[in-house]
A and B are shown apart, each in its own frame.
Chain A
């Protein structure tokens, strides 16, 4: 036969067939099939032949598969039986393994819940993948700001120019609104003006009313159930009227189910955008900045091509300024939660930080790693007692991979038991965890199919990895040597075990160090000198022209309140609700005639006295000297940036006010924004307009009294209730998420330390048990308890020393990386490294002592006669 005519059957099919057929070692049946295949090929063509070949596989499969399953099932049954016997026989060993795993898994389940919750942020909106938020990126000279808001007409303009855009929604907050609340009015910032398309783009569930008709009327309002209860005392209020101070009466047309905590959009009231244009006629005004704008792209749109077309509005947003390079950018819905840290004027509910997600994931891995390590360690340490079993199994015909499988089944069972106990733990710990994390997590998401699958995979993976090494190790035993009782593996086993112990110690020590560092950094931030005295200052926002007009009188009255020591008025306050903005400025008499930019807010002459901000050079602004209205203070950072040798007396042109000021003094740097950022250059001009905040310093523990006195005075000028803020509290709130993370971190570290001590406890008890005979003989020969203790602890101390050498640089690096998030870092003293090492030493000595005392106390005869 000519071999050129020979046809090979399909490769995959051949491979499958090869697995299914008997006659291992020889592939004669494959040859048979290939011969027949060629014949069919010759007679009926390629397709028929291939079909025939596959049919052969189908014909053979059922029997084969049934056999295979039956055999595997029987084996697994046996594995499970043996595993349970082993678990019960070594109760202590099993307890340590299960407990360690369970603690580790319960931590992981909680953190896992937290992470999935964070990742599923904004997932309620079904069109989330097509929704983008516009970012207004202002670039001008050294100015580089990204805003979450943009100009009013940008959205509409883009929609008319870019065909891929299906819809746009704009949200706006026109300052704050004053709403009828009980007998008086209350200010709320928890609302939006929204375009009619709002409910088409985003998904919100209606409790009463429907999305089609809610904004038909100009004066309509939608409330959430929470909002409805707050303002009306009931959630069945469609048709009622809500009184708004500035915007008139609005009819309630819908009530929404309470909003998910998991959305960046959060509000109590929703008003139609039309009201604004009706009141101000401002539609299409290119000077009107302040609109959060979302684009909904058509399905299948290419985001790149949309981004390219965004430049159509460049001309308008730059207002014809040649130097301006401002652009509009897109932020995807998925990025809003995690990547909005640098945005100005962002109203982002429960804003997240992707860094924390990474840190937490890392923590979970470390904890699980330690738990797996315990298992591995103990199993390797105990491998001697299992070696006979393996030997016998091999003698009666077990193959290597069957032995491996047996041990893996065993560890998977342990993991599974631990998982259910861990789930129970997690259930009990959940309320505590919610408190810590400030979230409202529940177990319902664990029922989701994908999460169940993930957890199942997790259990398998952990079970697999925790016993992978021991099973490979054990299955490699040669039955002859094991059964003869030879100890050919002893030395390598000891090296391995020591390595494992060292790694476990190192992890524990590193964990302690990192925990110390993290809490130091957090304490540092909360203790840090802000550069001013933030205690006992209350601030209130001015929402009434009457106050501004009668400020001098009101100030006098406020100063009359007992215990009030200082009163000041300013346009912003440090850590206030309103963020501190930039102005373009020009330095007069300077080589550099370009506009530069600096943060600014206006103050009066009492401001820096009240906040206790020290003056570095020059003097405070003061009415005693002339030209009070042209005085300005600058901070040290600004002085440095402006590059003046002697700042006092220099002149600054402030574009926002179109006025020139003379520097009277330089104040020491103080913090007025997040400590994550460096202190920015700040200038504090005097100006009587735009005053939005009153600050009051008092000198008393009776805060309530001061507050009620201020409220009484405030009532004379403004019918709205005043909103108080305590500067120290607002500052603390800024670091809320940092503090929460810190406590989660501390607990996780605590658990990892517990888990690794558990492992250590088990390991040391086992190692000492192994040396029982040796200890017995030593005792018989007259060794003292102390000398025995020395011998036993030597191995552990040696490992501990090496572990420190490994752990310190690792922890140092980890801490350094984490600290890079902070502009102001605490020095982590080397002392903490020693303390951590010492804590580890303490735990080690404690466990070793317990065990060695136990073994030295026992009668040596008992130990020696063993076996």
Chain B
């Protein structure tokens, strides 16, 4: 299994943080607010679909709300594989970041 892409990583983290409320709109909002970029629904759908296919995510249909025009939500949760993939990317990340001085990164000419 290849490493997660950055987008996949962020989405999986967002879903983990959102816990029981991880559906596309909330994921999108979370990512948009944290990164400050505007994430579109389409840019989330594609990686989510891919990860569902690869078994990192699973989903179930939840309740409907009036602001969705009475439509159901599809709530995503991480599978064991998904969690493993996050753990792995965390290890890679911390290893990579371990001896890097942020100060130096910011001040170097």
Chain A residues at the B interface, C-beta cutoff of 8 Å: 1, 3, 6, 8, 22-23, 26-36, 38, 56, 59-60
Q: Is the CB of A32 within 8 A of B42?
A: no
Kindly list chain A residues whose C-beta atoms are within 8 Å of the C-beta of B88: none
Give the chain A neighbours of B79 by CB distance below 8 A.
none
B67–A34 CB distance below 8 A: yes
Residues of B within 8 A of A34 (CB): 67-69, 71
Q: Is the Cβ of B64 less than 8 Å from the Cβ of A31? A: yes
Which residues of the other chain, B, contact A22 by a CB distance below 8 angstroms?
49
Q: Does B45 contact A (CB under 8 A)?
A: yes
Known contacts A22-B49, A34-B67; can you find 12 more A-B pairs with CB under 8 A?
A: A26-B61, A26-B74, A27-B71, A29-B45, A30-B69, A31-B72, A32-B41, A33-B41, A34-B71, A35-B67, A56-B42, A59-B42
Cβ contact within 8 Å between A26 and B42: no
Q: Tell me the complex Cα distance, A8–B23, Å.
A: 20
**CB-defined contacts of B42 to chain A, threshold 8 Å:** 56, 59-60
Q: Which of B14-58 contact A (CB under 8 A)?
A: 23-25, 28, 40-42, 45, 49
CB within 8 Å for A35 and B68 given contacts A56-B41, A60-B42 = yes
Contacts of A30 in B (CB 8 A): 69, 71
Contact call A38/B40, Cβ cutoff below 8 A:
no
* B69-A28 in contact (CB<8A): no
The answer to whether A35 touches B74 (Cβ under 8 A) is: no
Whole-angstrom distance from the CB of A40 to the nearest CB of chain B?
A: 11
* Bound Cα distance A6, B25 (Å): 16
- Whether, in the assembled complex, B2 has its beta carbon less than 8 Å from a beta carbon of chain A, the answer is no
Q: A28-B74, A29-B24 given as contacts; is B66 within 8 A of A36 (CB)?
A: no
Are B67 and A6 in contact (CB-based, < 8 A)? yes
| Cα–Cα distance between A56 and B61 once the two chains are bound (Å) | 23
Contact, CB under 8 Å: A8 / B74: no
Selected from A1, A26, A36, A60, the residue in CB contact (under 8 A) with B25 is: A36
The answer to whether A23 touches B74, judged by C-beta atoms less than 8 angstroms apart, is yes
Q: Cα distance A59–B46 when bound, in Å?
A: 12
Whether B61 and A31, one on each chain, are in contact in the complex, defined by CB atoms closer than 8 angstroms, is no
Give the complex CA separation of A828 and B42 in angstroms.
76
Whole-angstrom CA separation of A33 from B72 in the bound complex: 12
In the assembled complex, B73 has its CB within 8 A of some CB on chain A: yes
For residue A60, which residues in chain B have a CB less than 8 angstroms away from its CB? 42
CA distance A294 to B25 in the complex (A): 72
- Whether the Cβ atoms of A28 and B41 lie closer than 8 Å is no
For the complex, give the distance between the alpha carbons of A28 and B41 in Å.
Answer: 12
Nearest-neighbour CB distance to chain B for A5, whole angstroms, equals: 9
Q: Using Cβ atoms and an 8 Å threshold, which residues of chain A touch B74?
A: 23, 26, 28-29
Q: Could you give 19 example pairs across A and B, Cβ below 8 Å?
A: A23-B74, A26-B61, A28-B23, A28-B24, A28-B71, A28-B72, A28-B74, A29-B24, A29-B45, A30-B69, A31-B69, A31-B73, A32-B24, A32-B25, A35-B67, A35-B68, A36-B25, A38-B67, A59-B40
Q: How far is the CB of A53 from chain B (nearest CB, A)?
A: 11
Instruction: Report how far A34 CA is from B66 CA in the complex, Å.
Output: 10
Cβ distance B22 to chain A, nearest Cβ, rounded Å = 12
Given A26-B74, A59-B40, residue A32 in contact with residue B67 (CB < 8 A): no
**Chain B residues near A26 (CB, 8 Å)?**
61, 72, 74
Closest 7 CB pairs of A and B: A31-B71, A31-B68, A28-B74, A3-B66, A32-B24, A34-B69, A35-B25
Known: A1-B66, A35-B67. A28 touches B73 (CB 8 A): yes
Minimum C-beta distance from A21 to chain B (A): 9
- In the complex, which of the residues A8, A34, A35, A60 has the most CB atoms of chain B within 10 Å of its own CB atom? A35
Q: For the complex, give the distance between the alpha carbons of A26 and B64 in Å.
A: 11
- The interface residues of chain A lying within 8 Å CB-to-CB of B73 are 28, 31
- Tell me whether A8 and B66 are in contact in the complex, defined as CB-CB below 8 angstroms, given that A36-B41, A59-B40 are known contacts: no
- Which residue on A lies nearest to B61, using beta carbons? A26
B67-98 CB contacts (< 8 Å) to partner A: 67-69, 71-74
Chain B residues with CB below 8 A from A6, complex form: 66-67, 69
CA distance A23 to B74 in the complex (A): 10
Q: How far is the CA of A38 from the CA of B40 in the complex (A)?
A: 14
Inter-chain CA distance A30–B73, complex, in Å, is 10
Closest beta carbon of chain A to B98's beta carbon, Å: 39
Residues of chain A contacted by B65 (CB below 8 angstroms): 1
Q: Which residue on B lies nearest to A63, using beta carbons?
A: B46
* B29: nearest chain-A partner, CB-CB: A39
B-side contacts of A23, CB under 8 Å: 74
Taking CB atoms, residues of chain B closer than 8 Å to A59 are 40, 42
Residues of the B chain whose Cβ atoms lie less than 8 Å from the Cβ of A27: 71-72
Q: A8 with B61: in contact, given A22-B49, A28-B23 (CB under 8 Å)?
A: no
From B64, which residue of chain A is reached at the shortest CB distance?
A31
- B41 proximity list for chain A (CB < 8 A): 29, 32-33, 36, 56
